[in-house]
Amino acid sequence: MKILFILGPNLNMVGIRDRATYGTETAESINADVQRFADELGVELEIYQSNHEGDIIDKIHAAYGNTDGIMINAGALTHYSYALADAISSVHIPTVETHMSNIGAREEFRRKSVISPVCIGTIAGFGKTSYFLGLRALEDHLGKKENVK
């Protein structure tokens, strides 16, 4: 099972930016923990981070036909990138939206996700554990899908 984990703009700065919201653990250490968890699940995980919307869209398009699932924390793109939502929708790859913070409890502009409608589910508000939960949920969803064939 191959899963692509996409991290959007500014998520490379976790541990440095807005520590009250995201904590002090670095992006590198969080990614290493997520990779270890994927290994324990027996999931092939590719972690990809970009600060550029078009690069993220290209990565989603490139996943078509060779990736079983996508987990994404789109950062601020979550709230306004209809192009990203269209990319997710166009590839027909089950996608789970994740956020370290509870976007529903943050600033008004962060409370709406334009990508949620094209994702199979959303997990938010549990810090890096959101990524573990998202990965586990996607792995479970894909396993059930394989058993239906």
* Active-site residue set: 22, 99
Q: How far is CA 127 from the centre of its chain?
A: 13
Q: How far is CA 24 from the centre of its chain?
A: 20
Continuous segment of H or E residues that includes residue 2: strand 2-7
Side-by-side strand order, sheet with 69-73: 44-49, 2-7, 69-73, 95-99, 121-124
What gap in Å lies between CA 8 and CA 56, rounded to an integer?
A: 7
Contacts by 103-112, CB closer than 8 A, 24 or more apart: 103/78, 106/21, 109/79, 110/76, 110/78, 110/79, 112/79
Joined together, the tokens standing for residue 33 give 């923990």
